[in-house]
Amino acid sequence: MNKFNADVTGPDGKQYEIFFTRNIEIEEILYDCSKIRIIVYEGKFPWVKTVSVNKYKVHLKDGWQQFNTPVRGGFVSETEKTAYLHKNLPIEEKLAIAFHELIHILEQHPEGLNIETERITTEAAIALIAKNQEYLDSKNINTAKIITSLQRRGTFVSKISGEMTLNINHT
């Protein structure tokens, strides 16, 4: 299935219908770097808004909050080996989220379980990116930007902790 509509519960608790499409390019990059094949979909997440470069507003249960990384810009089905990404982001932000979700799938833990798991996941993602620097350079991908995005994310996890409960119902 390369495209579908799904009902998704956002971090603000509201239901959204989101149109997802496969992102094969990101799937191939993740595979080349890890030799693990996962499925990557992207769609517009209405709870993430870009304010300016590296400034994002995210709608959480207690309202809109500003971050300098698109937190809640991705979620994962670790059982279906599938990552879901917010579409409207620079490639480096998408890859930061995608590598983070890949580690959740590899380690078989859900997104947003607790702060310690998130920290370990982000560190493992950074290590995997560093290991593949040469390959990513050859694809003209700015690894420094991806790593900066992941490091920033770590500092915000405490503000948004709590389990991510996004339920996908294919429609």
Number of Cβ atoms within 10 Å of the Cβ of 11: 21
CB of 127 to Zn ion, least distance (A): 15
By beta-carbon proximity to Zn ion, the closer residue of 65 and 140 is: 65
CB of 58 to Zn ion, least distance (A): 14
CB of 134 to Zn ion, least distance (A): 26
- Of all residues in the shown chain, the one whose CB is closest to Zn ion is 111
Residue 18: helix, strand or coil by DSSP?
strand
Rounded to whole angstroms, how far apart are CA atoms 80 and 163?
18
By beta-carbon proximity to Zn ion, the closer residue of 92 and 118 is: 118
By beta-carbon proximity to Zn ion, the closer residue of 71 and 136 is: 71
- Output the six-digit token pair for 102: 């890949």
For Zn ion, the binding residues (CB under 5 A) are: 111, 118
By beta-carbon proximity to Zn ion, the closer residue of 18 and 83 is: 83
Q: Are 69 and 78 in contact (CB under 8 A)?
A: no
CB of 103 to Zn ion, least distance (A): 8
**CB-based burial label for 52 (10 Å; 0-12, 13-18, 19+):** exposed
Cα–Cα–Cα angle for 106, 118, 40, rounded to 5 degrees: 45
